[in-house]
C-alpha cells in the first residue's frame, strides 16, 4: 500500500512555527485535507541555534525509513530543506521561499566585517526574535556550524529532487542573485521571480497557486481520501 508523503514547513531564522507564511500555507492545505506540519527549528534553542540540529529535527519529522516528505522551506528553513534533501532520499519534493543559499556568505555580508569580528570575539550577536517579538542573541557557534556544512559541494546544495523556488526581486536579506545562479541549468527546478521582499507576504496567493500546480503529483493521490 502506497502511503502519502508527510508535508513539512520549515520557518526561517529567528522566526517560528507561527510565521505568517507557514500559518497561511497550513490553512490553504488544510482545506485540501492535507496536514502541513509546521516544525519548530529553533534547535536546540534560538540562542544556541545550529543548522546541524535543525537538519536532525527535519529528518526525525520525516518519520521512518519508508516514509517520504514534501518539504516547504523559507529562508534559513529553505537552506535546511536543501541540505536534508541532498543526503536523505525520503525527501521527494521541495518548495523553497527566498532560500538562504550560501547562507554563510550572506550572513557575513549582512552583519559586516566589523560586526562579524565583534560576534566572534564576544561570542554573541544581538538580533530580533520575530516569533517572540523581543530582542535576543545568537552564539557564534551558529556560524562555525554553518561554515562546516556550507563547505560541502562547493557551498551549493546538491539537490536532485523536483523543486519549486520562489524569490522576491526586492529581497534585501537573501539576495535573489544566489537563487538565479543556483537554478541555472537545473531542469528539475521551477524558478519564479515575484515583485516582493524577503517576507513574500504580498505573494501568498501566488505561492499557494504555484505550489498547487507544482505539487499536483502529490495532491492527486489524495483525491479519493
Distance CA 143, CA 48 (A): 11
Distance (Å) of CA 79 to CA 98, 113, 141: 9, 23, 18
The arrangement of secondary structure in 6-102+159-220, i.e. its CATH architecture, is 3-Layer(aba) Sandwich (3.40)
Quick one: which of 198, 180, 214, 216 has its CA closest to 97?
Answer: 198
Parallel/antiparallel/unpaired status of strands 36-38 and 163-168? unpaired
Helices 113-122/103-111 angle, 10° precision = 100
- Output the tens digit of pLDDT for each of the chain's 225 residues: 347 899 999 999 999 999 999 999 999 999 999 999 999 999 999 999 999 999 999 999 999 999 999 999 999 999 999 999 999 999 999 999 999 999 999 999 999 999 999 999 999 999 999 999 999 999 999 999 999 999 987 899 999 999 999 999 999 999 999 999 999 999 999 999 999 999 999 999 999 999 999 999 998 654 433
Distance (Å) of CA 217 to CA 162, 211, 213, 220, 223: 11, 11, 9, 5, 11
Question: What's this model's pTM, rounded to 2 decimal places?
Answer: 0.95
Quick one: which of 171, 167, 165, 115 has its CA closest to 143?
Answer: 115
pLDDT at 3: 73
The DSSP annotation for 77-91 comes to HHHHHHHHHTT-TTE
Strand, coil or helix: 21: helix
Distance CA 144, CA 9 (A): 25
Amino acid at each position: 500500500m502506497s502511503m502519502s508523503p508527510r508535508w513539512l514547513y520549515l520557518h526561517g531564522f529567528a522566526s517560528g512555527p507561527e510565521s505568517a507564511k507557514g500559518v497561511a500555507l497550513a490553512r490553504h492545505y488544510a482545506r485540501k485535507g492535507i496536514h502541513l506540519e509546521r516544525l519548530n527549528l529553533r534547535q536546540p534553542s534560538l540562542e544556541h541555534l545550529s543548522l546541524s540540529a535543525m537538519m536532525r529535527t527535519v529528518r526525525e519529522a520525516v518519520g521512518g525509513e519508508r516514509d517520504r516528505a514534501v518539504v516547504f522551506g523559507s529562508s534559513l528553513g529553505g537552506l535546511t530543506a536543501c541540505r536534508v534533501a541532498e543526503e536523505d532520499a525520503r525527501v521527494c519534493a521541495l518548495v523553497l521561499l527566498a532560500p538562504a543559499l550560501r547562507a554563510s556568505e550572506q550572513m557575513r555580508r549582512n552583519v559586516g566585517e566589523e560586526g562579524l569580528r565583534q560576534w566572534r570575539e564576544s561570542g554573541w550577536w544581538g538580533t530580533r526574535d520575530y516569533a517572540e517579538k523581543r530582542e535576543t542573541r545568537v552564539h557564534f557557534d551558529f556560524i562555525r556550524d554553518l561554515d562546516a556544512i556550507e563547505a560541502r559541494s562547493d557551498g551549493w546544495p546538491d539537490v536532485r529532487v523536483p523543486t519549486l523556488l520562489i524569490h522576491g526581486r526586492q529581497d534585501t536579506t537573501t539576495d535573489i542573485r544566489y537563487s538565479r545562479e543556483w537554478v541555472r541549468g537545473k531542469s528539475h527546478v521551477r524558478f519564479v521571480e515575484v515583485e516582493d521582499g524577503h517576507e513574500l507576504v504580498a505573494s501568498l496567493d501566488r505561492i499557494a497557486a504555484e505550489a498547487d500546480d507544482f505539487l499536483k503529483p502529490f495532491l492527486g493521490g489524495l483525491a479519493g481520501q
